[in-house]
Amino acid sequence: MISALRLPDAVQLIQMEYLEMPELSLTFWQAQRLWNLSAELCDQSLAFLIRANFLTRTATGRYIRTGALPNTVDRIQTLLRAM
């Protein structure tokens, strides 16, 4: 699978979806299919959002939102602009 998105675009796409649906809970493969991302880009994007404390990975392997505060969202945008 080849994705036309770059990492900052993919991160923003995933972040927007989780902001719109705070209860969203996806496995890696569900996320990859939902956003039509390559495995590498999906992994990088999810890892970025975990490092930014926006997402967390549950013991069962599902990616969920941490309940990030607005300053976390702002910090992510700042990091993305620096890429």
pLDDT digits (tens, 9 = 90+) for 17-34: 998 998 999 999 999 999
Q: How far apart are CA 52 and CA 1, in angstroms?
A: 26
Q: How far apart are CA 24 and CA 38, in angstroms?
A: 20
Type of residue numbered 48: F
Q: Is the pTM of this model over 0.75?
A: yes
Q: What is the DSSP string of 35-52?
A: HT--HHHHHHHHHHHHHT
Domains of the chain: 7-81 (1.10.10.10)
> What pLDDT digit, counting tens, does each position of 29-73 carry?
999 999 999 999 999 999 999 998 899 999 999 999 997 666 676
